[in-house]
Amino acid sequence: MENKEIRPGQEKEQEMLTCKMFLSKKFYEQLNDEGKEVFEYTPEGYCSTFQAICEEGITLGNCVMSFCEVAYIGLNPKYQIGEKTKVKCELYKNGKDDSTFSVLVTIGYQEEKEKHHELLIFAQRELTDSLYSFELVGDQTMFAL
């Protein structure tokens, strides 16, 4: 994933990028009703479009992580995210290839000391000057025996 960030000394003009997050039917069906309203069916899969505003200190990666946290993790009943649940997302590049990346989600539930983790694996579909599209291709359940 390209790290579109304005560096100190550059113009502080905002860069707007249209982003599209795709889900397969498997991941779409895990969402609650509100989550299913965020994604619409297309021949390429279920898609949600959002705007990423890259400005000083905010990268495309920050925008993607925030959207995943709100639109997928927060609206997926399997994670049981409530008002007092602490969620932290970290973005990792997979090897030297920019075409895939992972988001490590750490979830802290108020009543538990132990932290829970989820690993989401994404594939980049398209990157242009005005569009970034990516797809959730796996989660940690793909490693289950």
125 inside domain: yes
105 inside domain: yes
Q: Nearest CA to 91 among 73, 69, 114, 65? A: 65
Q: Residue 13: which pLDDT band, with cuts at 50, 70 and 90?
A: low
1 inside domain: no
128 inside domain: yes
Express as a percent the part of the chain with pLDDT over 70. Answer: 87
What pLDDT is attached to residue 59?
87
52 inside domain: yes
Task: Provide the whole-model pTM.
Answer: 0.84
116-131 per-position pLDDT tens digit: 999 999 999 999 989 9
10 inside domain: no
Question: Can you tell me which residue has the tokens 């990157």?
Answer: 127
The total of structural domains in the chain comes to 1
SS3 at position 14: coil
What pLDDT is attached to residue 96?
87
More confident residue, 7 or 38: 38
Domain that holds residue 78: 15-143
Rounded to 5°, angle at Cα 64 from 62 and 69: 95
Q: Residue 111: which pLDDT band, with cuts at 50, 70 and 90?
A: confident
87 inside domain: yes
2 inside domain: no
Residue 8 has pLDDT above 90, yes or no: no
81: CB partners within 8 A, 6+ apart: 73, 74, 87, 107
